[in-house]
Amino acid sequence: MKKLVVFDLDGTLAESKGAIDPEMSTLLYSLLQVARVAIISGGAWPQFQKQVLAHLPDDERLQRLSILPTCGTQFYEYNRGWNKRYSEDFSAEEKAKIIQALQAVVATLGYQPAQHWGKPIEDRGSQITFSALGQEAPLAEKKKWDPDFAKRQQMKTLLEKMIPEFSINLGGTTSVDITKPGIDKAYGIHKLRDILIIGLPEMLFVGDAIFPGGNDYPAKETGVDCIKVRDPDETKRVIETIVVCYAVL
């Protein structure tokens, strides 16, 4: 059995920007009893607090949970409270270049929506994230904007020409995540390997965007065993199966 189960967040454990529901909370807590768990997402630390940690019991079992915001460029671990182990942030010049490129691509492709819900570009320290309809857009609206990732694939193609020194990945329902070169979920997987001293063959990754260009795909490229899920409901069935398999060992 695997020693570490790694999850994406949005679209995998919860709906985009939404909290895990009571069933998912119970399942994750059960999984923490039998295996280490990590969550890697393009989201910033406050999103993990709001979407996941506020809905889990605050006890010693959290010592088996690792949180990696912004695709692994930050790492949080629990020891009588949550502590940041590292954060690899952009310089001011890098941030300005990325934001200018995003603005130019949106203008070129004509992707300015009629309405925004919050800022479309968010500085997450070690990651710049573009959210087409804004950070607080209703999920129903976000799901309609780019269901097949075609719009964001066009953005990715142009951005890779304009800022080739950075990594560009697609995630969530309307997001484009930009990190330092070589920083993606594969980077996060390797950080988990080195910090937790758990080999890649002993890990399992679960995500909804495990396809070329998807922000979960780099995890697959590490050679870690992966399970592609459709939505959080399918993730629940995966967790149930893992917990049952441990119980019968």
Active site residue 225: no
Q: What is the pLDDT of residue 1?
A: 82
CB 28 within 8 A of CB 71: no
Between CA 25 and CA 19 the distance in angstroms is 10
Q: What is the pLDDT of residue 179?
A: 86
- Residues in the annotated binding site: 8, 10, 124, 175, 177, 208
4-88+183-247 is a CATH 3.40.50.1000 domain: yes
In order along the chain (249 residues), what is the average pLDDT of each group of 10 residues?
Answer: 94 92 97 96 90 95 95 91 92 96 96 90 91 91 92 96 92 87 88 96 95 87 96 97 86
Q: Which residue has the tokens 């899920």?
A: 229
Active site residue 231: no
Q: What is the pLDDT of residue 66?
A: 98
CB 170 within 8 A of CB 214: yes
Q: Where are the domains of the chain?
A: 4-88+183-247, 92-179
User: DSSP class of residue 14?
Assistant: B
Q: Find the distance separating the first CA and the last CA of the chain, reported in whole Å.
A: 9
CB 123 within 8 A of CB 91: no
**Which residue among 8, 146, 184, 216 is the active-site one?**
8
Q: What is the pLDDT of residue 225?
A: 97
Between CA 192 and CA 3 the distance in angstroms is 12
Q: What is the pLDDT of residue 249?
A: 65
Nearest to 159 by CA among 213, 207, 119: 213
- Residues in the annotated binding site for Mg(2+): 8, 10, 208
Q: What is the pLDDT of residue 36?
A: 97
Judging by beta carbons within 10 Å of its beta carbon (0-12, 13-18, 19+), is residue 97 exposed, middle or buried? middle
Classified by CATH at the fold level, domain 92-179 comes out as: 3.30.1240
CB 228 within 8 A of CB 19: no
CB 120 within 8 A of CB 152: no
